[in-house]
Structure 1
Amino acid sequence: MKRITFGLLLLLSTTFTVKAESSAHISKDFDEQLQYADKIRSSDPELSNTILLELQKHEELLTAEQQHYLKYLLAYQLTFQGTPDKGLKQFKELAESKASKSLKFRTNITIINTLANTQKWNEGLAYLSKALELLPSIENKEIMQTGLMVAANFYNQLGQYELGYKYAEKLNLLPINDRNLCLSKGVIIEAKINLELLAENSDEIKQGIEICDKVGETLMSSFIRSFLVRLHLNKQQPDKALNILLPNLEVVENSHYPRLIIIFYSSIAKAYSFKQNYIQSEKYALKTIAQAELLGASQPVVQAYEILYKIAEQRKEFQLALKYHVNYTKANKTYLDNIKTKHLAYQLAEHQAIEQETRIKLLNEQNKLLRVEQDLAQAEAENNKLFISLLIALSTLLIFWAYKSRLTQKRLRQMAEYDSLTGIYNRGHFTQLARSSLEYCQSSNLPLSCILFDLDKFKTINDNYGHACGDWVLKKTADVCRNIGRKNDIFVRLGGEEFCIFLPGCDLTTAKEFAELCRQEVAAIDSTESGFSFDITASFGLTSAKLSGFDLDKIIADADQAMYLSKNNGRNRITLFTP
């Protein structure tokens, strides 16, 4: 590597001292340097960055397209080094520039990747939709392959592993280079593991690691190793996990890629906790927290805080354990909220696609009707009677399509505003209603209360009696609570087994009485109607605008905190939020 570095820097220094007369030769050398920096951007990021910084010093000698290419690679380095917002700003500027079509497409798919890493799912889906439309027009095969790869990776990170697997498999139908083969293997392995289609002893995993190591793609081979480690840890096989993690830790740390580093640190901490080596476990859990400072909540961070508070508990350091547990709870809630956000973003994109498809179909039918009307106008002079008959038929057809259109719009509105399972409001529509209700109560000086409740041990019901039985419980719970509420109460299913009721005009005392009625009604549900016999209870959290203010996020968070106190204090109870 030292020889390569020295030789390349020598090439750079000699190129930059060439006189302006040989500009064509200089331009060719710059192309080679940019392409080489691009080629090694993930396998040797330090050398790639060195080349780019040298090129940046002589940017005035570059052609316009070379400057665009340099800007792309510098923006990539920003995202790689843990400052994705800065990189994203540069990418978006480049996407609106006069760069070539292929570079702009590549910029767009890199934006998609960056938005996925920063969990901006709605914006990412919008960019992905545009990129997939442009994909067939891209002539550069490698860039087209990269587009498919980014789509597969984006869907994997969104949790839509079937779609991720589908787009990665498309690459197997194309002649691809070794680097893209490595990347496709990584995406396919991640999707298959999450779809429970691969075991830890699978030859496909070993083959993926070997291919990536062969081409020097240590980032992807390390990610594949982390997938394999997850399988070992899920089966409580810490020694097998450590035998993979520790020999490859230095390579991962030298990558300076925070997202990968915290996965390794957190996994090492988990493996040592299984072995009851709490000193090493604590060491790597703390390393995870320190490394993830700028990355926000993620599964490795949640796992690290969980390990730390359990170690502190085991040492009877209860004050420290409480501190770590609070951080664990916050990180876990943020992580779970991110997962919910992914699902909501994907569902919203699906609804928008359906609405767009319906609108296009309606416009096509309307265009057909216009063409028929034109034909009828031309035939009017020949046969007036036939014209009248056809006009009646067309009018009938138009009414029919208008009726169908109205039904479609009504159905789309139902899908957009109501939860399809329970028939109560969904989260998106609830947000609009709740904000309006808060503004009205605040301006009218009226009380407002919020009840948040979650079905107890709902996962056990699903596991023991099946998801059909779980759906029956959700619908029954919604029915009994809706029947005792008022018409102006805002009742919503937030997701899973979690519900919320906004009570405009209700003070805390009245809301508590209503919550108690709901709790009793839920507990009184006769589960034998489902074909099984089991208890149904719920834990309630309660707050009011007087306690929590008129900010929607704050009042929901306070009710959620009170609800978790109900969970922790034995379930099937009501807890008032205490500021």
Structure 2
Amino acid sequence: MLFLCVCTSFAQISVKSSGEPQYITDELLRLESLRINNPQLFGDGLDALAFEQMKMSSYQQCHYAFLRAYQKAFKGESKQAIKVMENLIPSCDDLRVRVRLNALIANISVIGGNYLKASNHIDLVIQNAEQTADTTTKTLAYSAAAIVYNLLDQRELGVKYSELLYNLEPTDKNLCHLHYSSNVHHLDGNNPPKEFSEIKEMSGQCKSSGNLLYSQFLILDNIKWKLAQDRLDENALGEIEAEIRNIDAEIQNSPYKNILGIFAAIKAKFYWFKSENKLAQSHALNALKLNQDLGNTEQLIMALEVLEKVSKDNGDFQSSYNYLKKINKTQLSMYDETQAKQMAFMAVKHSNLAKVFEIEQLNRQKEVLELEKKLANQEANNQRLIILLILTVLAMMVLWLFKIKKRHDYFRDVSEIDHLTKVLTRKAFEEQVKVQLENCEKTNSPINIAIMDLDLFKNVNDSHGHLIGDWVLKNVVYAIKELVEENMILARLGGEEFCIVMADVDCETMRNKLEMMRSAIETLDCSESGAKLSVTASFGYTSSVTSGYSLPLLLTHADVALFDAKKHGRNQVVKFKTLQGRT
């Protein structure tokens, strides 16, 4: 029910327009202030106010209809609420109501997974805010934009509108919102967490402002980042244990399953680091239970990873393998959801850009028509000028169309090519490999898939910085590109992980090719980077002969083989073997 937050401060609007009964306006605002804390009084008040509809101004009628739609959304009738509000928008010209309607539609849509609708309506909220000088309306718009853009994973925009909101209305509540947005953006950039003393200060500020949810998220996000590291020394574990103990009682009283699930997953990971596998398993299973109705989440992956490690520690390799498959499936689903959010956001931005170009083109065409009308009344000796003008305008139109096409091609390339390594992104890789798999299956031809992962790459980033890490990624790709043939596909799956696909060859040929790539990486001269380091890579691969033509299964088996390569010393090529063969 996060959409409640977007509308929290709407009741502060005051309306004193002529022709509006003031007592109705006052009652609408009073009811709006009750809708979160006292839904029963809110509903009863709306029923009583229904008898006053004949006396309402057009603004008051729109405001009343909005509150009725909000009531539907609060009861879980989100689709009906959105339909009501979409029908209201064309007839409600007042920007105060339009900001309400579009903000609530955007918030409900982003929570429901309709990212394109959410992006469209939050864009309308910002447009409405730019059309008014009313401070309260701008405050509402910025608050909605900060929340929705954070939910769309557009962290920079979340921080931007949180800052605008705080600058416009510097309250404790808005400062808390800014703290949360800034911290999420900071952690999403793979930056180390802020000092815990600073996080505790920010969390305390949120708690004192009445925002317990953001207060808890600030602490939990900080702990979660620390537990994501490969190793933790005793001092770090002691600090985390103290943090968990300090917040334990407060979290246990939380009514939010999401918060409880995150905390359970954190405890599971902590106890695994402490080698207390029974406690780790118990908390991980509790995290799975709490996450049942929440879909794919970070805490779900964290809990599954703990269960996989515990199973492996206990020698239960079948369960470990099953958890690995669940982790892979969940990560793929979360990646697809992230891509859907990004594509929806980009689609709206591209649509706005196209509209700008279209308006400019129409304005120019209008100018041309007016000039032609004037020139038609002149003497015949002005005809050459008319022709020259038409040709000039046509040339400008062609130029604008060319720019539109160029921008369209740019957005398409951005979604298909990884900006750092210039190889295929995961989305483009999946689309191309799907076609190749279908063709190979029809002709019963073999196809091989390998996953390559740079060994101990995190140490490169930690010891030498991300600029050196980027240099290594680019030059490793340059080295293996020299060995890529026409029947091969090279893509970046994420981080330091890449995928190589080779069709119409047997496993031995694939292995030889991967060995050549491994050797090329091992002998890579890194002196030009300015750092003293060496790079190696591990490869896990499989074939359709063993794993069939299902892409998820091929990737899972290649990942298992990669796990074996890492487990047995890294810097080697390992082929996937069936469970029976491995046993």
Question: What TM-score do the two structures reach when normalised by structure 2?
Answer: 0.72
Once residues 530 and 114 of structure 1 are traced to their aligned partners in structure 2, the CA distance between those partners, rounded to angstroms, is: 48
Letter in 2 for 1:133: Q
Residues 1:526 and 2:496 aligned together: no
The corresponding residue for 1:455 is 454
Give the direction of change, closer, same or farther, for the CA distance of 1:105–1:407 in structure 2 (3 Å limit).
closer
The corresponding residue for 1:476 is 475
Matches within 5 A, 1:133-532: 133-136=127-130, 145-175=139-169, 183=177, 186-188=180-182, 190-191=184-185, 198-202=194-198, 206=201, 209-210=204-205, 212-213=207-208, 215=210, 217-227=211-221, 235-236=236-237, 237-238=239-240, 240-252=242-254, 255=255, 257-269=256-268, 283-307=282-306, 317-319=314-316, 323=319, 326-327=322-323, 330-331=326-327, 334-335=330-331, 338=334, 342=338, 345-346=341-342, 349-350=345-346, 353=349, 357=353, 360-361=356-357, 364=360, 367-368=363-364, 371-372=367-368, 375=371, 377-378=375-376, 381-384=380-383, 386=385, 411-532=410-531
- Measured after TM superposition, the shift of residue 152 of structure 1 is 1.9
- What is the RMSD of the two structures over their aligned residues, measured on CA atoms? 4.8
Once residues 268 and 544 of structure 2 are traced to their aligned partners in structure 1, the CA distance between those partners, rounded to angstroms, is: 42
Residues 1:93 and 2:92 aligned together: no
Query: Contact (CA 8 Å) 1:151, 1:164: kept in 2 or not?
Result: yes
Letter in 2 for 1:499: F
Residues 1:72 and 2:70 aligned together: yes
Letter in 1 for 2:155: Y
Once residues 136 and 306 of structure 1 are traced to their aligned partners in structure 2, the CA distance between those partners, rounded to angstroms, is: 46
Once residues 187 and 267 of structure 2 are traced to their aligned partners in structure 1, the CA distance between those partners, rounded to angstroms, is: 20
- Measured after TM superposition, the shift of residue 573 of structure 1 is 1.4
Query: Contact (CA 8 Å) 2:269, 2:306: kept in 1 or not?
Result: yes
Query: Contact (CA 8 Å) 2:521, 2:537: kept in 1 or not?
Result: yes
Letter in 2 for 1:453: M
- Measured after TM superposition, the shift of residue 280 of structure 1 is 6.0
- Measured after TM superposition, the shift of residue 258 of structure 1 is 0.8
Q: Secondary structure at the match of 1:486?
A: coil
Q: Secondary structure at the match of 2:490?
A: strand
Q: Secondary structure at the match of 2:502?
A: strand
- Measured after TM superposition, the shift of residue 174 of structure 1 is 2.8
Once residues 470 and 351 of structure 1 are traced to their aligned partners in structure 2, the CA distance between those partners, rounded to angstroms, is: 32
Letter in 2 for 1:338: M
Once residues 197 and 308 of structure 1 are traced to their aligned partners in structure 2, the CA distance between those partners, rounded to angstroms, is: 26
- Measured after TM superposition, the shift of residue 167 of structure 1 is 0.9
The corresponding residue for 1:3 is none
Q: Deviations over 1:315-361 (max 9, x none)?
A: x7443x87468537734773486268536743774487358536744
Once residues 78 and 552 of structure 2 are traced to their aligned partners in structure 1, the CA distance between those partners, rounded to angstroms, is: 27
Letter in 2 for 1:300: Q
Query: Contact (CA 8 Å) 2:155, 2:181: kept in 1 or not?
Result: no
- Measured after TM superposition, the shift of residue 171 of structure 1 is 1.2
Query: Contact (CA 8 Å) 1:245, 1:264: kept in 2 or not?
Result: no
Letter in 1 for 2:287: T
Once residues 43 and 391 of structure 2 are traced to their aligned partners in structure 1, the CA distance between those partners, rounded to angstroms, is: 74
Matches within 5 A, 1:16-165: 35=32, 37-40=34-37, 48=39, 69-70=67-68, 72-76=70-74, 78=76, 88-98=78-88, 105-106=99-100, 108-110=102-104, 112-113=106-107, 116=110, 124-136=118-130, 145-165=139-159
Once residues 132 and 371 of structure 1 are traced to their aligned partners in structure 2, the CA distance between those partners, rounded to angstroms, is: 30
Aligned length: 533
Q: Deviations over 1:525-564 (max 9, x none)?
A: 3333444453333222333444444444443344334333
Once residues 482 and 525 of structure 2 are traced to their aligned partners in structure 1, the CA distance between those partners, rounded to angstroms, is: 16
Q: Secondary structure at the match of 1:485?
A: coil
Query: Contact (CA 8 Å) 1:541, 1:560: kept in 2 or not?
Result: yes
Once residues 331 and 188 of structure 1 are traced to their aligned partners in structure 2, the CA distance between those partners, rounded to angstroms, is: 29
The corresponding residue for 1:9 is none
Q: Secondary structure at the match of 1:39?
A: coil
- Measured after TM superposition, the shift of residue 466 of structure 1 is 3.9
Letter in 1 for 2:167: L
Query: Contact (CA 8 Å) 2:454, 2:497: kept in 1 or not?
Result: yes
Once residues 455 and 97 of structure 1 are traced to their aligned partners in structure 2, the CA distance between those partners, rounded to angstroms, is: 54
Query: Contact (CA 8 Å) 1:238, 1:272: kept in 2 or not?
Result: no
Give the direction of change, closer, same or farther, for the CA distance of 1:471–1:369 in structure 2 (3 Å limit).
farther
Once residues 331 and 139 of structure 1 are traced to their aligned partners in structure 2, the CA distance between those partners, rounded to angstroms, is: 50
Letter in 1 for 2:127: E
Once residues 259 and 471 of structure 1 are traced to their aligned partners in structure 2, the CA distance between those partners, rounded to angstroms, is: 35
- Measured after TM superposition, the shift of residue 521 of structure 1 is 3.2
Q: Secondary structure at the match of 2:197?
A: coil
Matches within 5 A, 1:496-575: 496-571=495-570, 572-575=572-575
Query: Contact (CA 8 Å) 2:441, 2:549: kept in 1 or not?
Result: yes
- Measured after TM superposition, the shift of residue 259 of structure 1 is 0.9
Once residues 489 and 226 of structure 2 are traced to their aligned partners in structure 1, the CA distance between those partners, rounded to angstroms, is: 46
Once residues 295 and 418 of structure 1 are traced to their aligned partners in structure 2, the CA distance between those partners, rounded to angstroms, is: 32
Q: Deviations over 1:135-164 (max 9, x none)?
A: 445899767544423432344455543332
Give the direction of change, closer, same or farther, for the CA distance of 1:432–1:31 in structure 2 (3 Å limit).
same
Once residues 437 and 59 of structure 1 are traced to their aligned partners in structure 2, the CA distance between those partners, rounded to angstroms, is: 64
- Measured after TM superposition, the shift of residue 241 of structure 1 is 1.1
Once residues 219 and 292 of structure 2 are traced to their aligned partners in structure 1, the CA distance between those partners, rounded to angstroms, is: 24
The corresponding residue for 1:4 is none
Structure 1 residue runs without a partner (length 5+): 1-23, 41-46, 79-86
Q: Deviations over 1:155-182 (max 9, x none)?
A: 4455543332211111123347776665
- Measured after TM superposition, the shift of residue 503 of structure 1 is 3.1
Letter in 2 for 1:261: L
Give the direction of change, closer, same or farther, for the CA distance of 1:126–1:54 in structure 2 (3 Å limit).
same
Once residues 379 and 558 of structure 2 are traced to their aligned partners in structure 1, the CA distance between those partners, rounded to angstroms, is: 70
Once residues 494 and 457 of structure 2 are traced to their aligned partners in structure 1, the CA distance between those partners, rounded to angstroms, is: 13
Query: Contact (CA 8 Å) 2:271, 2:277: kept in 1 or not?
Result: yes
Q: Secondary structure at the match of 2:419?
A: coil
Give the direction of change, closer, same or farther, for the CA distance of 1:147–1:333 in structure 2 (3 Å limit).
farther
Give the direction of change, closer, same or farther, for the CA distance of 1:120–1:557 in structure 2 (3 Å limit).
farther
Q: Percent identity of the aligned residues?
A: 24
Once residues 404 and 87 of structure 2 are traced to their aligned partners in structure 1, the CA distance between those partners, rounded to angstroms, is: 41
